Amino acid sequence: MAASRPPQVQELLAEARRAFREEFGAEPELAVSAPGRVNLIGEHTDYNQGLVLPMALELVTLLVGSPRTDGLVSLLTTSKDADEPQRLQFPLPTVHRSLEPGTPRWANYVKGVIQHYPDSGAIAARAQVCQRAEHSFAGVPCGIMDQLIALLGQKGHALLIDCRSLETSLVPLSDPKLAVLITNSNVRHSLGSSEYPLRRRQCEEVARALGKESLREVRLEELEAGRELVSKEGFRRARHVVGEIQRTAQAAAALSRGDYRAFGRLMVESHYSLRDDYEVSCSELDQLVEAALSVPGVYGSRMTGGGFGGCTVTLLEASAASRTMQHIQEQYSGTATFYLSQAADGAKVLCL
């Protein structure tokens, strides 16, 4: 069984240049690419000032463009999911007039980045600007993981991010005997959009009740000792976060010394904690994880990202990839899609 092959950057670039030329009657002057990401471990810890360990993927979003002099922004998006290219034109924001989110929804994030961009500085500040765009234009009160890995990812490495200090360190991940398999459940339960902000609030409430700035400052013993100060549900949410931050530190250390078995065990603990304490998994993700775990050569598997659908990530021997995909597909009640990706580079300007 074969994983889907991501379109190559050069193919996407040729397609984008063609679309630009047809729309604007000229060649674009600039091209940039930004990767997708998968989080290996450290889930729902970023907005708690904790640790995360994502890697950038070979799947990219590609953008071509040229400056214009009339104060307008023209956007054209071509996507395999939409039948027709989509267009939008709007004036650049000024000190007197800000951009606002609205319809079409696909443009909101782009507008948000344009609106906030003048405030950006160094790389971390640029990531923060994109995070603000998510908060105020896309309506997702996300942490800083996605933006930092998209900017700082490096080929052959995962990235350990300390979301409190914004310090990052690269962890080598290029052993040819090892593979990272991403399995898309192809379901997305709408519950996710309301549960995400709710989880964030619950975590903040527990931290406050314990007199701490964030759950990053809380040790497991302190949480246990303060059990009476928080709700039962709040306690379980916080237990996930506090444990997950510890697991992420341990997993980064395990990966550095090539101990894939230890890494895999931590991934599985992470999944069970997300399922039972944080309650952001769903039956489809649980099925995919259990199916993966029953295949020899699989080190570990877990849901990845916000939850309530989306993908799982599995660490396995490269030689076990084909039989793992086969087995997952046989066991899964839905239709899964597979991606095998190396750890790739972060956002970059491409040569035209």
For residue 213, report the phi and psi dihedrals to the nearest 5 degrees: -65, -45
Given candidates 50, 300, 305, 346, which one binds ligand GLA under the rule CB under 6 A?
305
Indicate the SS3 state at residue 336.
coil
State the minimum distance, in angstroms, from the CB of residue 66 to ligand GLA.
30
> Residue 283's closest CA among 312, 251, 315?
312
Q: 159 or 295, CB closer to ligand GLA?
A: 159
Q: Alpha-carbon distance 43 to 311, whole Å?
A: 13
Helix residue spans in the chain (DSSP H): 9-24, 108-116, 123-133, 145-152, 191-209, 220-225, 232-256, 260-276, 283-293, 321-331
For residue 76, report the phi and psi dihedrals to the nearest 5 degrees: -135, 125
Binding track over 130-149 against ligand GLA, x by CB under 6 A: ------------xx-xx---
Q: Alpha-carbon distance 221 to 244, whole Å?
A: 15
- Find the catalytic residue in 146, 162, 276, 345: 146
Contact residues for 38 (Cβ-Cβ < 8 A; gap 6+): 54, 55, 57, 180, 182, 304, 305, 311, 313, 341
State the minimum distance, in angstroms, from the CB of residue 215 to ligand GLA.
13
Scanning residues 36 to 65, which ones bind ligand GLA (CB under 6 A)? 39, 43-44, 46-47
Verify binding: residue 277, ligand GLA, rule CB under 6 A. no
Helix (H) or strand (E) holding 181: strand 178-188
Residue holding tokens 């950038």?
A: 56
Residue holding tokens 């039956």?
A: 283
Sign, CA dihedral 101-49-36-43, equals: negative
Q: 54 or 264, CB closer to ligand GLA?
A: 54
Residue holding tokens 């599985």?
A: 268
Q: Report how many helices (DSSP H) and strands (DSSP E) the chain contains, helices first.
A: 10, 11
Q: 44 or 302, CB closer to ligand GLA?
A: 44
> Residue 296's closest CA among 314, 273, 320, 267?
320
54, 40 contact by CB (below 8 A): yes
Q: 146 or 277, CB closer to ligand GLA?
A: 146
Active site residue 146: yes
State the minimum distance, in angstroms, from the CB of residue 328 to ligand GLA.
22
Count residues near ligand GLA (CB under 6 A).
11
State the minimum distance, in angstroms, from the CB of residue 303 to ligand GLA.
10
Q: 20 or 37, CB closer to ligand GLA?
A: 37
Indicate the SS3 state at residue 59.
strand
Q: 188 or 327, CB closer to ligand GLA?
A: 188
Q: Alpha-carbon distance 338 to 341, whole Å?
A: 10
Given candidates 36, 50, 243, 306, which one binds ligand GLA under the rule CB under 6 A?
306
State the minimum distance, in angstroms, from the CB of residue 39 to ligand GLA.
6
Amino acid identity for residue 155 in this structure: K
Going by the DSSP 8-state scheme, the letter that residue 37 receives in this structure is E
State the minimum distance, in angstroms, from the CB of residue 88 to ligand GLA.
24
Q: 16 or 148, CB closer to ligand GLA?
A: 148
State the minimum distance, in angstroms, from the CB of residue 42 to ligand GLA.
7
- Which residues of this chain interact with ligand GLA, rule CB under 6 A? 39, 43-44, 46-47, 142-143, 145-146, 305-306
Q: Which residues are catalytic?
A: 146
